[in-house]
Amino acid sequence: MPQFKKPAVLILADGHVFHGIAFGKVGIATGEICFNTGMTGYQEVFTDPSYTGQVLIMNNVHIGNYGVKKTDVESGTVKIRGLIARNLEEQFSRMLADGDLNAYLVENQIVAIEGVDTRALVAHIRTKGAMNCIISSEEMDIDKLKAMLSAVPDMDGLELASTVSTETEYELGDPNASVKVAVLDFGVKQHILECLVSRGVHVRVHPAKTTYDRLKAFNPTGYFISNGPGDPAAMPYAVATVKEILNEKKPVFGICLGHQLLALANDIPTFKMHHGH
Protein backbone atom coordinates (compact mmCIF):
# COMPACT_ATOMS: atom_id res chain seq x y z
CA MET A 1 0.00 0.00 0.00
CA PRO A 2 1.15 3.63 -0.48
CA GLN A 3 3.05 5.27 2.40
CA PHE A 4 3.80 1.77 3.79
CA LYS A 5 0.30 1.66 5.24
CA LYS A 6 0.81 4.95 7.02
CA PRO A 7 -2.28 5.65 9.13
CA ALA A 8 -4.61 8.54 8.39
CA VAL A 9 -7.65 9.98 10.11
CA LEU A 10 -10.79 11.78 8.95
CA ILE A 11 -12.73 13.97 11.39
CA LEU A 12 -16.09 15.58 10.68
CA ALA A 13 -17.26 18.86 12.18
CA ASP A 14 -19.94 16.98 14.14
CA GLY A 15 -17.21 15.02 15.95
CA HIS A 16 -17.33 11.72 14.05
CA VAL A 17 -13.90 10.15 13.54
CA PHE A 18 -12.93 7.66 10.80
CA HIS A 19 -9.57 5.89 10.70
CA GLY A 20 -7.93 4.67 7.51
CA ILE A 21 -4.73 4.46 5.47
CA ALA A 22 -2.92 7.37 3.85
CA PHE A 23 -2.30 7.79 0.14
CA GLY A 24 -1.48 10.79 -2.00
CA LYS A 25 0.47 13.53 -0.22
CA VAL A 26 1.33 13.12 3.46
CA GLY A 27 -0.14 16.13 5.22
CA ILE A 28 -3.34 17.79 6.40
CA ALA A 29 -6.32 18.90 4.30
CA THR A 30 -9.49 20.73 5.31
CA GLY A 31 -12.66 21.71 3.50
CA GLU A 32 -16.35 21.03 3.09
CA ILE A 33 -17.10 17.35 2.60
CA CYS A 34 -19.15 16.24 -0.40
CA PHE A 35 -19.59 13.03 -2.37
CA ASN A 36 -19.70 11.71 -5.92
CA THR A 37 -21.43 8.44 -6.79
CA GLY A 38 -19.93 8.00 -10.26
CA MET A 39 -18.24 4.68 -11.09
CA THR A 40 -15.80 6.30 -13.54
CA GLY A 41 -14.51 9.75 -14.40
CA TYR A 42 -12.67 10.41 -11.15
CA GLN A 43 -9.93 12.47 -12.79
CA GLU A 44 -12.48 14.72 -14.48
CA VAL A 45 -14.18 15.19 -11.11
CA PHE A 46 -10.92 16.08 -9.36
CA THR A 47 -10.20 18.80 -11.93
CA ASP A 48 -13.75 20.19 -12.11
CA PRO A 49 -13.59 23.80 -10.82
CA SER A 50 -17.03 23.36 -9.23
CA TYR A 51 -15.35 21.21 -6.55
CA THR A 52 -12.91 23.97 -5.52
CA GLY A 53 -12.29 23.98 -1.77
CA GLN A 54 -14.07 20.68 -1.09
CA VAL A 55 -12.98 17.33 0.30
CA LEU A 56 -14.43 14.65 -1.94
CA ILE A 57 -15.77 11.19 -1.13
CA MET A 58 -15.71 8.84 -4.12
CA ASN A 59 -18.49 6.47 -3.19
CA ASN A 60 -17.61 3.73 -5.68
CA VAL A 61 -15.82 0.84 -3.96
CA HIS A 62 -12.66 0.99 -6.10
CA ILE A 63 -10.70 3.97 -7.34
CA GLY A 64 -7.58 4.16 -9.46
CA ASN A 65 -8.22 0.96 -11.40
CA TYR A 66 -7.76 2.63 -14.80
CA GLY A 67 -4.97 5.03 -13.82
CA VAL A 68 -4.77 8.63 -15.00
CA LYS A 69 -4.42 10.28 -18.40
CA LYS A 70 -3.22 13.79 -19.18
CA THR A 71 -6.25 14.61 -21.33
CA ASP A 72 -8.90 13.37 -18.85
CA VAL A 73 -9.20 16.76 -17.18
CA GLU A 74 -11.71 19.59 -16.93
CA SER A 75 -9.15 22.27 -15.99
CA GLY A 76 -5.41 22.75 -15.72
CA THR A 77 -5.10 21.76 -12.05
CA VAL A 78 -6.69 19.48 -9.45
CA LYS A 79 -9.36 21.50 -7.64
CA ILE A 80 -10.38 19.28 -4.71
CA ARG A 81 -8.70 19.83 -1.32
CA GLY A 82 -8.67 16.19 -0.26
CA LEU A 83 -9.92 12.73 -1.22
CA ILE A 84 -11.69 9.94 0.68
CA ALA A 85 -11.94 6.43 -0.79
CA ARG A 86 -12.80 2.84 0.10
CA ASN A 87 -10.11 0.97 -1.85
CA LEU A 88 -7.20 2.41 -3.81
CA GLU A 89 -6.15 0.07 -6.60
CA GLU A 90 -2.34 0.05 -6.80
CA GLN A 91 -2.35 -1.64 -10.21
CA PHE A 92 -4.23 -0.08 -13.10
CA SER A 93 -5.27 -1.44 -16.48
CA ARG A 94 -5.59 0.94 -19.43
CA MET A 95 -3.35 1.02 -22.46
CA LEU A 96 -3.51 4.81 -22.83
CA ALA A 97 -2.95 5.66 -19.15
CA ASP A 98 -0.01 7.92 -18.31
CA GLY A 99 0.44 6.74 -14.72
CA ASP A 100 -1.17 5.65 -11.47
CA LEU A 101 -3.56 7.62 -9.30
CA ASN A 102 -1.43 7.69 -6.16
CA ALA A 103 1.53 9.28 -7.96
CA TYR A 104 -0.85 11.77 -9.58
CA LEU A 105 -2.21 12.85 -6.20
CA VAL A 106 1.30 13.18 -4.76
CA GLU A 107 2.33 15.30 -7.75
CA ASN A 108 -0.71 17.54 -7.24
CA GLN A 109 -0.26 17.81 -3.45
CA ILE A 110 -3.59 16.15 -2.58
CA VAL A 111 -3.97 14.50 0.84
CA ALA A 112 -6.09 11.34 0.70
CA ILE A 113 -7.36 8.53 2.90
CA GLU A 114 -8.57 5.04 1.97
CA GLY A 115 -9.99 2.18 3.98
CA VAL A 116 -13.02 4.24 4.96
CA ASP A 117 -16.53 2.80 4.77
CA THR A 118 -17.65 5.31 2.17
CA ARG A 119 -21.20 3.96 2.04
CA ALA A 120 -21.65 4.61 5.76
CA LEU A 121 -19.97 8.00 5.44
CA VAL A 122 -22.19 9.07 2.53
CA ALA A 123 -25.27 7.90 4.43
CA HIS A 124 -24.15 10.01 7.38
CA ILE A 125 -23.65 13.11 5.21
CA ARG A 126 -26.97 12.48 3.49
CA THR A 127 -28.69 12.50 6.89
CA LYS A 128 -26.72 15.20 8.71
CA GLY A 129 -25.95 17.47 5.76
CA ALA A 130 -22.84 19.17 4.44
CA MET A 131 -20.16 20.06 6.97
CA ASN A 132 -16.45 20.77 7.18
CA CYS A 133 -13.92 18.02 7.73
CA ILE A 134 -10.20 17.44 8.15
CA ILE A 135 -7.98 14.63 6.81
CA SER A 136 -4.54 14.07 8.32
CA SER A 137 -1.72 11.62 7.70
CA GLU A 138 0.72 13.90 9.51
CA GLU A 139 -0.77 14.91 12.86
CA MET A 140 -2.70 12.12 14.59
CA ASP A 141 -3.72 13.86 17.82
CA ILE A 142 -7.52 13.99 17.60
CA ASP A 143 -7.93 17.00 19.89
CA LYS A 144 -5.37 19.04 17.96
CA LEU A 145 -7.06 18.16 14.69
CA LYS A 146 -10.48 19.12 16.05
CA ALA A 147 -9.05 22.50 17.07
CA MET A 148 -7.72 23.01 13.53
CA LEU A 149 -11.07 21.99 12.08
CA SER A 150 -12.98 24.47 14.22
CA ALA A 151 -11.03 27.32 12.59
CA VAL A 152 -12.01 26.35 9.02
CA PRO A 153 -14.54 28.82 7.53
CA ASP A 154 -17.86 27.60 6.14
CA MET A 155 -18.49 27.65 2.39
CA ASP A 156 -21.62 29.78 2.86
CA GLY A 157 -20.99 33.30 1.63
CA LEU A 158 -17.70 32.47 -0.12
CA GLU A 159 -17.08 33.96 -3.56
CA LEU A 160 -14.82 31.41 -5.25
CA ALA A 161 -15.71 31.72 -8.93
CA SER A 162 -13.34 34.59 -9.67
CA THR A 163 -10.45 32.56 -8.19
CA VAL A 164 -10.82 29.80 -10.80
CA SER A 165 -11.92 31.90 -13.78
CA THR A 166 -9.63 32.66 -16.68
CA GLU A 167 -7.61 35.84 -16.18
CA THR A 168 -7.63 36.78 -19.86
CA GLU A 169 -10.03 36.38 -22.76
CA TYR A 170 -9.41 33.63 -25.29
CA GLU A 171 -11.20 32.28 -28.35
CA LEU A 172 -11.89 28.77 -29.63
CA GLY A 173 -13.34 27.47 -32.87
CA ASP A 174 -13.76 28.93 -36.34
CA PRO A 175 -13.82 32.77 -36.28
CA ASN A 176 -16.01 32.67 -39.40
CA ALA A 177 -18.67 30.44 -37.83
CA SER A 178 -22.26 31.57 -38.13
CA VAL A 179 -22.88 31.02 -34.41
CA LYS A 180 -20.84 32.97 -31.84
CA VAL A 181 -21.19 32.34 -28.10
CA ALA A 182 -19.85 34.59 -25.35
CA VAL A 183 -18.91 32.46 -22.33
CA LEU A 184 -18.80 33.96 -18.85
CA ASP A 185 -16.23 31.79 -17.11
CA PHE A 186 -16.96 31.13 -13.44
CA GLY A 187 -15.04 27.84 -13.56
CA VAL A 188 -16.08 26.37 -16.90
CA LYS A 189 -15.25 22.73 -17.64
CA GLN A 190 -13.06 22.19 -20.68
CA HIS A 191 -15.30 19.53 -22.16
CA ILE A 192 -18.23 21.97 -22.21
CA LEU A 193 -16.19 24.29 -24.40
CA GLU A 194 -15.17 21.33 -26.58
CA CYS A 195 -18.83 20.40 -27.02
CA LEU A 196 -19.62 23.89 -28.30
CA VAL A 197 -16.63 24.01 -30.65
CA SER A 198 -17.35 20.51 -32.01
CA ARG A 199 -20.75 21.79 -33.11
CA GLY A 200 -19.25 24.57 -35.19
CA VAL A 201 -19.55 27.36 -32.64
CA HIS A 202 -17.05 30.21 -32.35
CA VAL A 203 -16.48 30.75 -28.63
CA ARG A 204 -14.94 33.63 -26.73
CA VAL A 205 -14.31 32.88 -23.05
CA HIS A 206 -14.38 35.90 -20.71
CA PRO A 207 -13.15 36.37 -17.12
CA ALA A 208 -15.77 36.24 -14.36
CA LYS A 209 -15.88 40.00 -13.78
CA THR A 210 -16.13 41.02 -17.43
CA THR A 211 -18.57 43.89 -17.96
CA TYR A 212 -21.69 43.54 -20.05
CA ASP A 213 -20.40 46.15 -22.50
CA ARG A 214 -17.30 44.04 -23.14
CA LEU A 215 -19.40 40.90 -23.66
CA LYS A 216 -21.74 42.73 -26.02
CA ALA A 217 -18.79 44.02 -28.07
CA PHE A 218 -18.20 40.44 -29.25
CA ASN A 219 -21.66 40.63 -30.87
CA PRO A 220 -22.49 37.05 -29.89
CA THR A 221 -25.40 35.01 -31.16
CA GLY A 222 -25.99 33.95 -27.56
CA TYR A 223 -24.50 33.75 -24.09
CA PHE A 224 -23.33 30.85 -21.93
CA ILE A 225 -23.11 31.28 -18.13
CA SER A 226 -20.78 28.58 -16.83
CA ASN A 227 -20.62 26.24 -13.89
CA GLY A 228 -18.37 27.06 -10.96
CA PRO A 229 -17.78 26.91 -7.20
CA GLY A 230 -19.00 28.99 -4.28
CA ASP A 231 -22.13 30.80 -3.19
CA PRO A 232 -24.06 32.63 -5.95
CA ALA A 233 -25.44 35.02 -3.33
CA ALA A 234 -21.87 36.30 -2.87
CA MET A 235 -21.68 37.33 -6.55
CA PRO A 236 -23.74 40.53 -6.97
CA TYR A 237 -21.39 41.62 -9.75
CA ALA A 238 -22.34 38.53 -11.79
CA VAL A 239 -26.07 38.88 -11.10
CA ALA A 240 -25.97 42.48 -12.36
CA THR A 241 -24.19 41.40 -15.56
CA VAL A 242 -26.63 38.55 -16.18
CA LYS A 243 -29.56 40.95 -15.77
CA GLU A 244 -28.11 43.13 -18.52
CA ILE A 245 -27.61 40.08 -20.73
CA LEU A 246 -31.24 39.05 -20.27
CA ASN A 247 -32.42 42.50 -21.30
CA GLU A 248 -30.74 41.96 -24.68
CA LYS A 249 -33.28 39.23 -25.52
CA LYS A 250 -30.70 36.87 -27.01
CA PRO A 251 -30.47 33.13 -26.20
CA VAL A 252 -28.90 32.46 -22.79
CA PHE A 253 -27.95 29.13 -21.24
CA GLY A 254 -26.63 28.49 -17.74
CA ILE A 255 -25.23 25.36 -16.12
CA CYS A 256 -24.80 24.73 -12.39
CA LEU A 257 -23.70 28.06 -10.85
CA GLY A 258 -24.71 29.78 -14.08
CA HIS A 259 -28.24 28.43 -13.72
CA GLN A 260 -28.39 29.74 -10.16
CA LEU A 261 -27.19 33.17 -11.32
CA LEU A 262 -29.96 33.18 -13.93
CA ALA A 263 -32.44 32.52 -11.13
CA LEU A 264 -31.09 35.37 -8.99
CA ALA A 265 -31.15 37.70 -12.00
CA ASN A 266 -34.88 36.92 -12.28
CA ASP A 267 -35.40 37.61 -8.54
CA ILE A 268 -35.78 33.90 -7.77
CA PRO A 269 -33.96 33.03 -4.51
CA THR A 270 -31.43 30.21 -4.28
CA PHE A 271 -30.49 28.13 -1.27
CA LYS A 272 -27.78 25.63 -0.45
CA MET A 273 -28.67 21.96 -0.82
CA HIS A 274 -28.67 19.85 2.33
CA HIS A 275 -25.67 17.80 1.21
CA GLY A 276 -23.12 18.25 -1.55
CA HIS A 277 -22.86 15.70 -4.32
Quickly state the pLDDT bin for 258 (edges 50, 70, 90): very high
Q: How far is 268 from 274, CA to CA, in rounded Å?
A: 19
Quickly state the pLDDT bin for 75 (edges 50, 70, 90): very high
Domain 161-265 is found in CATH 3.40.50.880: yes
User: Which pTM was predicted?
Assistant: 0.93
If residue 12 lies in a helix (H) or strand (E), which one and from where to where?
strand 7-12
If residue 123 lies in a helix (H) or strand (E), which one and from where to where?
helix 118-128
Q: What tens digit of pLDDT does each residue of 101-111 get? A: 999 999 999 99
User: How many C-beta atoms lie closer than 10 Å to residue 73's C-beta?
Assistant: 18
Burial (Cβ within 10 Å: 0-12, 13-18, ≥19) of residue 177: middle
From-to residues of CATH 3.50.30.20 in the chain:
2-150
If residue 181 lies in a helix (H) or strand (E), which one and from where to where?
strand 179-184
Q: Which residues contact 169 (CB under 8 A, 6 or more apart)?
A: 204, 205, 206, 207, 210
pLDDT attached to residue 195: 98
Q: What tens digit of pLDDT does each residue of 10-42 get? A: 999 999 999 999 999 999 999 999 999 999 999
Class of domain 2-150: alpha beta
Q: What tens digit of pLDDT does each residue of 42-72 get? A: 999 999 999 999 999 999 999 999 999 999 9
pLDDT attached to residue 4: 60
